[in-house]
C-alpha cells in the first residue's frame, strides 16, 4: 500500500520519516513518499493514482483546494474550510478530513492542562483556521486573529466564528495588534517574528509555534521555564498519528513517530 504527503514546497516535510517509523514499529510493508504538487496540479495528481494508494497528507497550498475533490467531507474539515487528509479506496478519494484541528487540541493538552478562555492566532491561512478552532475546542469563547493582510483573513475568521460554541472573532493587523488570552498560536514565518511581535506575546501562558523548521523561531526562543511551549513537531506528530490510524486502521505509535521526527530534525541541523 502507498501513501504520500503532497504540497509545494515539500522537500522539508517530516511526514515521510514519521509515517515510515510507524510502519516499521507495526511491521507494515507500506511506502510513504513526498510529492511536489502545486495547487493547480492537485486534481490531476490525485486522479492519476492507482488502486494501491490509501491516503494523502496535504500541506500548503493544497488544504482548501482539497475540499473540491470529493463530496464526502468530515464535519471538522467542513468547519475549518480545509482538509489536510484524503482517504482513498482503490485509488479513489472517499473522504476529505482535517486532523490538524484535533491534533492541535492534543498537542496543547499534552503540555498544558490550564484554562483556555481567550486566545490569539498570528496569521490568517488554513493552519490559522484549524488552530483557531482548536482554541474553541479547548474552551476559548473569544479568538483574535492578527494577520499580515487582514483583508485576506475573512474566510479564516468566518470558519472560526462558525464553531458550535459561537465564539467572538476579530481580525486586526499583525503589526501593532495586541495579543490577548492564555494561548498565542503562531502560524507566521520566522522572518515575520520581529522583536516587537515577540514582546507582545510575552504575557501569554502558552506559546504554540506551529513551525518546526527553522527551530527555534524567535518566538519559540523567547519562552522561558515559567511558560509552556508547544512546538510544530508536537502538532505534526499528533495529527500524523490520526492520519496513520485512518490510513492503516491500526493505532498510531505516537512515541516511535515522535522519536523519528526528532532524529530527522537533528540530522538536518548543524552540529
Give the count of beta carbons closer than 10 Å to the beta carbon of residue 104.
27
Q: Is 17 in contact with 25 (CB distance < 8 Å)?
A: no
Say whether 233 is catalytic. no
Grid cell for residue 44? 490531476
Q: Round to whole Å and give the CA distance between 55 and 197.
A: 38
Q: How far is CA 161 from CA 136, 146, 153, in A?
A: 9, 15, 12
Helix or strand or coil: residue 271? coil
Picking from 14, 62, 87, 72, the residue whose alpha carbon sits closest to that of residue 265 is 14
- In the set 63, 76, 163, 200, the catalytic residue is 63
Catalytic residues: 63
Amino acid at each position: 500500500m502507498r501513501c504520500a504527503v503532497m504540497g509545494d514546497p515539500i522537500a522539508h516535510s517530516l511526514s515521510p520519516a514519521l509515517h515510515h517509523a510507524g510502519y516499521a514499529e507495526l511491521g507494515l510493508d507500506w511506502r510513504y513518499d513526498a510529492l511536489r504538487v502545486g495547487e493547480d496540479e492537485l486534481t490531476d495528481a490525485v486522479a492519476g493514482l492507482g488502486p494501491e494508494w490509501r491516503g494523502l497528507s496535504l500541506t500548503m497550498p493544497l488544504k482548501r483546494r482539497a475540499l473540491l475533490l470529493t463530496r464526502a467531507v468530515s464535519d471538522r474539515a467542513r468547519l475549518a474550510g480545509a482538509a489536510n487528509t484524503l482517504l482513498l479506496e482503490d485509488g479513489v478519494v472517499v473522504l476529505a478530513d482535517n486532523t490538524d484541528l484535533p491534533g492541535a487540541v492534543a498537542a496543547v493538552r499534552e503540555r498544558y492542562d490550564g484554562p483556555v478562555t481567550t486566545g490569539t492566532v498570528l496569521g490568517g491561512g488554513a493552519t490559522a483556521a484549524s488552530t483557531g478552532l482548536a482554541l474553541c475546542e479547548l474552551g476559548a469563547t473569544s479568538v483574535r486573529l492578527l494577520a499580515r493582510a487582514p483583508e485576506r483573513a475573512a474566510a479564516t475568521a468566518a470558519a472560526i466564528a462558525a464553531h458550535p460554541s459561537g465564539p467572538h472573532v476579530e481580525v486586526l493587523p499583525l503589526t501593532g495588534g495586541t495579543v490577548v488570552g492564555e494561548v498565542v498560536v503562531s502560524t507566521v514565518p520566522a522572518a515575520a517574528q520581529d522583536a516587537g511581535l515577540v514582546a507582545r506575546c510575552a504575557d501569554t501562558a502558552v506559546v504554540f509555534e506551529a513551525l518546526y523548521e527553522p527551530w527555534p523561531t524567535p518566538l519559540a526562543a523567547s519562552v522561558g521555564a515559567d511558560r509552556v511551549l508547544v512546538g510544530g513537531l508536537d502538532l505534526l506528530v499528533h495529527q500524523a498519528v490520526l492520519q496513520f490510524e485512518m490510513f492503516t486502521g491500526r493505532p498510531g505509535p505516537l512515541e516511535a513517530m515522535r522519536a523519528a521526527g526528532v532524529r530527522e530534525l537533528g540530522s538536518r541541523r548543524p552540529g
